[in-house]
Amino acid sequence: MSRRNTAKKRNLSPDPIYNSKILNMLTARILKNGKKGLAQKIIYKSLDIIKEKTHNDPMEILEKAIRNATPLVEVKARRIGGSTYQVPIEVRAYRGTNLALKWITKFASNRTGINMSIKLANEIIDSSTENGSTIRKKEETHRMAEANKAFAHYRY
């Protein structure tokens, strides 16, 4: 992290097919070894699978899944007087979206199965219906923040 000045926020270009910035953010999460084309193929295939399974617009389901998985609060470790406290902090919208996308891709890759696009589609469908590992992670984060609410005055 630079001490001189803050990093400027880069503008995201929307993805070519659905013209969505969220899909571009999801592509960046799935991306491995710079193979963006492969990451986009995985995402588009998973959106097709979602359309087949639910008979609804896959972008609406993806947005609903991200909305359901976005945390409102998180805990950050703060060292005060030799002891470390877990301090609950409110999450800004952009960070919340990033956390939701990160959790969705992480738990999709941890699922059992062969094909990443199928695993991603199933995780997105589960998140949109408010069950699955991603939602459990969000609830666990909220529980941790609730348990450590007494240390909220250490917020910075």
Measure CA of the first residue to CA of the last residue in the chain; give whole Å. Answer: 18
Token output for 154 = 């250490």
pTM for the full model?
0.90
Conformational region of residue 19, where left means phi above 0, alpha means psi within -120 to 50, and beta covers everything else: left
Find how far residue 45's CA is from the centre of its chain: 19
Which domains are assigned to the chain?
21-154 (1.10.455.10)
Per-residue model confidence as pLDDT tens for the chain (156 residues): 668 888 888 888 888 898 999 999 999 999 999 999 999 999 999 999 999 999 999 999 999 999 999 999 999 999 988 999 899 999 999 999 999 999 999 999 999 988 999 999 999 999 999 999 999 999 999 999 999 888 888 876
